[in-house]
């Protein structure tokens, strides 16, 4: 799910050009499209890491079902869900470029579920929870890696701190060296996307990871009711309420990370 990205700095059109036809306008549009491509690639990679973490943890705890199906891999071909990994995220990211503004809000994405056979675990409830939490934990790990890269750039590169803060705050850093700018932009988007996946997957809405944790905490009768929730209800809740809840969690987390970058 794609949170509302930090505002990207708009460029003023010189008076000698008609609105939207200046070279600066073209450059801004191409920059936004490049960011959209980065978002899509990073989402695909992050979802693959997430599902690989589920499969790896299940294998470590005694259930090799996912490993035998080749799911302990970062190759996205083994994790792609045609709708959740490709179609829906593509509409959310690229929709505004073709006039589908409705899809330009939060980026929602999911991969093919990792197959688990619970009876292969020694302690079913504990091990199920560990396998479930491995996915969101992997997204937090990617956030940490991206943050450390930004910290290194801030400390070791001349004017790196200015570039990092400007990019993280919504600027495109058009005057920076293209290679360094791309690295900073990728890390910034990686933090945004993986924090989104972390919070989104912990929502207690079937079939998200948080629903498995909640299910293991419910009494037997409540579990029977919980398991009967239609999947279309879950999707409606995710679409109409998930974005608002995610924003409430994501914005403070992004401000905290920005404060950490400032203090470096």
Hey, where are the domains in the chain?
Answer: 23-263
Q: Is the dihedral of CA 58, 60, 66, 71 positive or negative?
A: positive
Block residue for tokens 């199920």 = 128
**Tens of pLDDT along the chain (264 residues)?**
444 444 333 333 333 334 444 333 444 455 677 788 888 889 999 999 999 999 999 999 999 999 999 999 999 999 988 887 888 787 777 776 666 654 445 566 788 889 999 999 999 999 999 999 999 999 999 999 999 999 999 999 988 899 999 888 775 544 444 688 889 999 999 999 999 999 989 989 888 899 999 999 999 889 888 888 888 888 788 777 777 888 889 889 999 999 999 998
Phi, psi of 80 (to 5 degrees): -70, 130
Q: What's the whole-model pTM score? A: 0.82
Nearest CA to 250 out of 175, 208, 192 is that of 192
Q: Pick the catalytic residue: 19, 39, 51, 128?
A: 51
Does residue 51 have an active-site annotation? Answer: yes
Task: Report whether 139 contacts 195 (CB < 8 A).
Answer: yes
């Amino acid at each position: 799910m794609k949170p509302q990205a930090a505002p990207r700095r708009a460029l003023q059109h010189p008076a000698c050009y008609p609105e939207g036809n200046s070279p600066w306008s073209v450059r801004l549009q191409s920059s936004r499209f490049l960011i959209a491509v980065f978002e899509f690639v990073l989402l695909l990679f992050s979802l693959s890491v997430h599902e690989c973490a589920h499969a790896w943890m299940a294998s470590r705890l005694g259930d090799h079902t996912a490993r035998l199906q080749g799911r302990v891999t970062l190759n996205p071909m083994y994790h792609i869900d045609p709708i959740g990994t490709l179609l829906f995220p593509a509409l959310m990211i690229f929709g505004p470029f073709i006039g589908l503004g409705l899809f330009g809000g939060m980026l929602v994405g999911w991969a093919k579920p990792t197959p688990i056979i619970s009876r292969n675990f020694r302690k079913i409830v504990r091990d199920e929870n560990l396998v479930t939490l491995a996915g969101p934990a992997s997204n937090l790990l990617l956030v940490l890696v991206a943050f450390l890269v930004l910290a290194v750039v801030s400390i070791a590169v001349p004017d790196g701190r200015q570039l990092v803060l400007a990019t993280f705050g919504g600027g495109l850093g058009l005057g920076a060296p293209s290679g360094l700018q791309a690295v900073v932009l990728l890390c910034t988007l990686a933090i945004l996307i993986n924090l989104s996946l972390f919070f989104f997957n912990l929502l207690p809405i079937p079939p998200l990871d948080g629903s498995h944790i909640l299910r293991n905490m419910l009494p037997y009768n409540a579990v029977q009711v919980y398991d009967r929730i239609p999947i279309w209800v879950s999707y409606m809740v995710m679409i109409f309420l998930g974005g608002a809840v995610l924003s409430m969690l994501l914005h403070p987390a992004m401000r905290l990370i920005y404060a950490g970058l400032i203090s470096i």
